[in-house]
Amino acid sequence: MNLTHIEHLGIAVKELAPAIEYYEKLLGQKCYSIEEVTDQKVRTAFFKVGSTKIELLEPTSEDSPIAKYLEKNPHGGVHHVAFCTDSVQTALGEAEALGIQLIDKTPRRGAEGLNIAFLHPKSTYGVLTEICEVPK
């Protein structure tokens, strides 16, 4: 698969505000975007670290995947790693050919207008893996 770089790390947090404050101090920069992704029942906040971003994820409902993650990991934690590619659709086909279990068979729309799809942690050594593509 042609994955060019780690696009972002998704970090689950109970509350966005104090986590934003922490990352603003840690990284010495302001959060550049806050966005709600209704499809995934999360509010996201973004920082840039070189060519990689930090995506903070706060659940907006009790049945959010992030709420479920926080039940098991009450302090929060790294929820997923997202790799960048030219074509999510091509990457999904290649992943399937490699025997990797897919969560999404076709790309969907994520935060920042990216096309995204997830690979199942059962097939990825326990790491929820996102493949994403900046739409042309």
Report the interface residues with Co ion, using CB under 5 A. Answer: 10, 55, 82, 130
Instruction: Name the residue whose CB lies closest to Co ion.
Output: 10
- Closer by beta carbon to Co ion, 40 or else 87: 40
In angstroms, what is the minimal distance from the CB of 82 to Co ion?
5
In angstroms, what is the minimal distance from the CB of 18 to Co ion?
21
In angstroms, what is the minimal distance from the CB of 130 to Co ion?
5
The owner of tokens 């893996």 is 129
In angstroms, what is the minimal distance from the CB of 64 to Co ion?
14
Can you give the length of the chain in residues?
136
In angstroms, what is the minimal distance from the CB of 81 to Co ion?
9
Which ranges constitute the DSSP H helices of 48-99? 65-72, 88-97
- Closer by beta carbon to Co ion, 10 or else 76: 10
- Closer by beta carbon to Co ion, 24 or else 112: 112
Residues 6 or more apart whose Cβ sits within 8 Å of residue 41: 59, 60, 61, 63, 64, 65, 66, 67
AA identity, residue 37: V
- Closer by beta carbon to Co ion, 99 or else 126: 126
Number of Cβ within a 10 Å radius of residue 14: 14
> What residues form DSSP beta bridges with 48?
53
- Closer by beta carbon to Co ion, 55 or else 58: 55
Structure tokens at 59: 């659940």
